[in-house]
Amino acid sequence: MENQRLEYTAEVAAATGPVFEKLRRQYKDDHWRTLAPYIYAINLLKAQKNAVILAHNYMTPDIFFGVADIVGDSLKLAQEAARTDAAIIVQCGVHFMAETSKILCPDKKILIPDLLAGCSLAESITGADVRALKVRHPGIPVVTYVNTSAEVKAESDVCCTSSNALKIVEALGREGHDTVIMTPDKFLAQNVAAQTKIKILFWEGTCIVHERFTSEDIIRIRTQHEGAVILAHPECPPDVLQQADYAGSTAQMDEYIKTHQPAKAVLLTECSMSDNIAAANPEVEMIGTCQMCPHMKRITLPKILKTLQTEAPEITVDPEIAARARRAVDRMLALS
């Protein structure tokens, strides 16, 4: 199965032609001929197996436009996982996203094309760390970013994503809490703290992609690309967000470009996000200042095809941990 040879036939060319038209600026002809047969085979198999592909906004354009059924940020992918009727979910994203789908859909088969697609934030904290935080700060609720393991979610009071973190913290404020703990992303926590009166205690985790952006990058971009609108993800350091023109989750940045159609824009986030937005918004000049997430880039078309063929690797979560993690995820979905 590993050495299968997929041909670029007339049938493949016809079926994938409309996607290629959209991605002409992203892929040269020769490269496309190597990708298209995978897109064709994946789409056939997906239909035969009643599988759905949930793809994060950081997937490369061949996956994002070629095979994904649902694309979005972490929040949307969780909401759609909870909603789908498909028997199999192939999660094109990182491990914590697939685990979130399993927590929400314990009876479905959740597959991930590469089990090693991790996340520096998820790796920065354990369930035992959250238990220790609770002992140190009794009565203070723990808001945990979805970029964590099921075990960490299970110890938390409520989850959040980059698109609803402020909303969740303020909701806890309305319940009478003047202090909350946010784990594990210190920059997300500090960026939320800048927008609320509620005191936020934070954990020392960072995203290896977004921590690399600096306010000097913004000064350089403004000098070199006059008039470009700068959008930053809330996992970037606070001084970057303060100087950016807009901050939001990957879906919120996508929506901003779609509705405002700026002449030039820069996304301070993962590289494929810019490529996907450029393909969907041909009138907007996307300036390529980005950082690559090595975990997200583990997901490729050949691995997706193999996963669908073998129905592996499958994500499993201990049912007791999943049930407790679900409370925190459900509470977030209810508050979103």
Instruction: Catalog residues that contact ligand 13P under the rule CB under 6 A.
Output: 57, 73-74, 147, 161-162, 207, 233, 235, 249-250
Nearer to ligand SF4, 94 or 284 (CB): 94
CA 66 to chain centre: 18
6: buried, middle or exposed (CB in 10 Å: 19+, 13-18, 0-12)? middle
Name the nearest CA neighbour of 296 among 273, 276, 275, 312: 273
Residues that bind ligand SF4 (CB under 6 A): 94, 119-121, 147, 207-209, 235, 270, 293, 295-296
For the bound state, the minimum distance from the C-beta of residue 147 to ligand SF4, rounded and expressed in Å, comes to 5
Strands of the sheet with 88-92, listed across from one edge:
70-72, 51-56, 88-92, 109-111
Kind and range of the H or E element at 79?
Answer: helix 74-83
For the bound state, the minimum distance from the C-beta of residue 323 to ligand SF4, rounded and expressed in Å, comes to 25
Residue 158 gets which letter from DSSP? E
Residue in this structure with the two tokens 């090595």, named with its chain if needed:
294
CA distances from 314 to 60, 112, 115, 158 (A): 22, 7, 9, 26
For the bound state, the minimum distance from the C-beta of residue 285 to ligand 13P, rounded and expressed in Å, comes to 23
> Taking CB within 5 to 8 Å according to partner kind, which of ligand SF4, ligand 13P, none is near residue 74?
ligand 13P
Nearer to ligand SF4, 46 or 275 (CB): 275
For the bound state, the minimum distance from the C-beta of residue 250 to ligand SF4, rounded and expressed in Å, comes to 9
> Taking CB within 5 to 8 Å according to partner kind, which of ligand 13P, ligand SF4, none is near residue 105?
none
Nearer to ligand SF4, 41 or 244 (CB): 244
For the bound state, the minimum distance from the C-beta of residue 197 to ligand SF4, rounded and expressed in Å, comes to 27
